[in-house]
Amino acid sequence: MKNTNSSPKGEGAGLLAEVEGTLQGHRDGHGFLIPDDGSADVFLSSQETHAVMHGDRLRVKVVRFDKRGRPEGKVLEILERKKRPLIGRLLLESGIWLVAPEDRRMGQDILIPKNGIANATAGQVVAVELTEPPSLYSKPVGRVVEVLGEIDDPGMEIEIAVRKYDVPHRFSPETLAQSAKLPEKMRAADLKGRVDLRDVPLVTIDGEDARDFDDAVYCEPFKQGRGKKAIEGWRLLVAIADVSHYVKPGEALDADAYERATSVYFPRRVIPMLPEKLSNGLCSLNPYEDRLSMVCDMLVSSDGTVSAYQFYPAVISSHARFTYTEVAAVLANTHGPEAAKRRELVPHLLHLHEVYRALLAERGRRGAIDFETTETQIVCDDNGRIEKIIPRTRNDAHRLIEEAMLAANTCSADFIQSNKHHALFRVHEGPTPEKRTTLQAYLRSLGIGMGISDDPTPREYQQIAQATKDRPDAQQIHTMLLRSMQQAIYTGINAGHFGLAYPAYTHFTSPIRRYPDLLVHRVIKALLASKKYTLDAAKMNVPQAPKRPGRAAPPNPADARNETERWEVVGAHCSANERRADEASRDVEAWLKCRYMRDRLGEEFAGTVSAVTSFGLFVQLDALYVEGLVHITELGGEYYRFDDVRQELRGERTGIRYATGARVQVQVSRVDLDGRRIDFRLVRDSEDARSSGRGAAGKPTGKPSGRSPAKKRAPKTAVEALDEVQQTDRDVKQSRKAVVAALHPVKAAQQAAKRAAGRAAKKTAPKPPTRKRR
């Protein structure tokens, strides 16, 4: 029977309450139970986690609360062991075979009997199946079920990541068989009921490395009426690959697509949501080939508002495959060599640019948030190792396509809402009360006259971003603005998109690589046919999505009773798989960057503090776009206090401060490939630090830069040195008194009165008799 006592803070389970959830291990041996009901996480000591492993489902009892009111628990029962192979390296130590798991959250090595190593050799990466789970007195035992290869094999980091994060990477035999039966080209029967747009010069605009093209665009001027009632603007067509024509509910193709929910992008490799015959062939809007599509046909007025729209199935033929670089070059010089190659399409590109500028102006009036961030691209060599990391600059071509896709996505949301049909919305909510309060305090601490209200709007965020963009700490401010907002999710209940300032928003434009877009296509098709799209009951046969920090627990698929709850289950599944794909991609990039930096141990670089925590500084190198940690123990021999409001570390003795955006010089001191961690050591000239109060400011040179020589100064005498130390002590004491007076005025007044009384007593006290000299 569960105890319902409340915790000290009124959150989570009470003392002696029993809680069920999933164990999230930690590389140091302890763990946290993530409760199914969304309550506060329960800490489990290393003694409690000895018989369990990361991913197991447990029942625990809350036995105490720590000083901060956080619950600590004791394991009562193991409800379910996580059944999946573990990835790690096979090692031979003192005649004993064991596997060190790649995921350090597992916490324990796995013993392998001599007859269970298959044909693997020491040092290879293997997949292991547990035959005996861990207990209080023994380690887990397993056997090798797959040999992945050597750790240095090209692409091994991807093979590890897809298994480490349970990314489905093999299509079922049924899916491959169904894919093989699909036609190589569009058939005549496919044209039934479609609008023929093959003569319209639609074009695709993508990156140089794109392989699947799921959107094509076209724009022409539009004018209707005369005189004051005349309407001027543009007709904007956004054609999206009609994946729903080939992927039907209940079929093997659909089952595999739903299980994946999204394509996963790695450097040099993609794990697609659909088989290559569809993603790169039949559904891809390749140039000069007839393709089936769903079209959002919009009328955009001169002020950038969409005055009318309609959806319809069509057949198109892309007239060109443009890259962002080519389009940007054409827009910059309509008489240049790039424009000369596509002379007949230049007017249409100019019309696209015109409608983009109108949509962008409307975006500004709407108050949508638009932060300029630097994205990077990893360039690999033939062996899959990083050759260089380059910034990915956004130009007008990127923004042009972005605005066109946003317009189509909002039209699809409006169409579905106006017809009162269930669907998956892309929801981005504003800051939580806790994050809002933190951001308000942070802005006040910097003396910024602008702030956010208790019910903030996107416009407030955008105004702060614009007002602070020229400040030296602009990056720090914009980072805090971004962190205050919640993550976007898929859900069946529309709550608007805060960042884009839309009342309703869906994803319609990428059905080749996102399952929610495919569902939106099916809903729109059903509405066009005056029908209703109902979710397949088989979609409820999925594991419960993991709880995200700061959010309520996702719905349990087994409890979905009506259509609204079913859409919620599907949304939680797609959101969880989107996060999984992001985590797997980041893991691979971190592994590649660690390999990249391992050859640069001892070298020094200029960098910028990208984040500040209680345990140190994260620094991004200017020349390499790689991030590492300067641990707080590397900052010098004094005590640093973390200011949560200002997001900075401040030295108590010297007053040196380190905040986001600070310029520093660091040396690569350690690279942990298994832990995906790069450690830096701070290289700081003491004179520069003392004068600036924020640490040394290294200059970005694009090359490893050496340590700058210390400035020469006249040697001090012993008396001067003593005077300086005494003055420093007096300054520190005075500043502490000022802090106490500001934070504790009553206490400060009492201390001042006590000191005054002491001085008065000394004046009135009789002097001791002086001894006369003889």
The count of residues in the chain is 774
pLDDT in tens, 610-626: 889 999 999 999 989 99
Provide the 3-class DSSP secondary structure of residue 643: strand
Specify whether the CB–CB gap between 303 and 361 falls below 8 A. yes
Specify whether the CB–CB gap between 352 and 298 falls below 8 A. no
Structure tokens at 615: 């345990």
Q: What is the mean pLDDT of residues 650-656?
A: 88
Specify whether the CB–CB gap between 111 and 100 falls below 8 A. no
Q: Which residue type occupies 418? A: S
Q: How many other CB atoms sit within 10 Å of the CB of residue 443?
A: 20
Provide the 3-class DSSP secondary structure of residue 684: coil
Round to whole Å and give the CA distance between 371 and 481.
Answer: 10
- Comparing 61-70, 132-141, 472-481, 752-761, the range with the smallest average pLDDT is 752-761
Q: What is the mean pLDDT of residues 390-408?
A: 92
Q: State residue 220's pLDDT score.
A: 95
Under DSSP, the state recorded for 282 is I
- Comparing 23-27, 120-124, 392-396, 544-548, the range with the smallest average pLDDT is 544-548
Round to whole Å and give the CA distance between 262 and 577.
Answer: 7
- Higher confidence at residue 557 or residue 228? 557
Structure tokens at 172: 């079922």
pLDDT in tens, 54-98: 989 999 999 999 887 889 999 999 998 888 889 999 999 989 999
pLDDT in tens, 267-307: 889 999 999 999 999 999 999 999 999 999 999 999 999 99
Reported pTM: 0.82
